[in-house]
Amino acid sequence: MKIREFAYARSGDKGRDANIGIIANSEEDYQILKQKLTADRVQDFFHPLSPINTTRYVLPNLLALNFVLEGVLAEGGSRSLRIDAQGKTLGQALLEMELEP
């Protein structure tokens, strides 16, 4: 089951770091995400982009999780040669992650 089946995402840059918000469609979906979508899993998913560290913040009042991926944008939006220098597509990419039922 892909994350996109029960959540949506927003992402963007914070200098050389990226921020990804995953917002569940329901309380039940939020509980699944909270249990299965860990900082380690997100770190591993984005391994090809070499994040230094990934931190997860739990936002129960919004039914959301927020991930900060340190260093994932290399030199940052204005200096990076990456196609997505501001990290706008990272959230959409994360929605394609498979979670076990």
Mean pLDDT within 4-12: 92
Query: CA angle, 90 as apex, 87 and 80 as ends, to 5°?
Result: 30
For residues 17 and 11, what is the distance between their CA atoms, to the nearest angstrom? Answer: 11
Residue 29 has a pLDDT of 96
Residue 85 has a pLDDT of 45
pLDDT tens-digit map of 79-91: 565 555 456 689 9
Residue 36 CB burial class (10 angstroms; 0-12, 13-18, ≥19): middle
pLDDT tens-digit map of 28-51: 999 999 999 999 999 999 999 889
Does this model's pTM top 0.85? Answer: yes
Domains and CATH numbers, the chain: 3-94 (3.30.70)
Q: What is the mean pLDDT of the chain?
A: 88
Phi, psi for 9 (deg, rounded to 5):
-140, 155
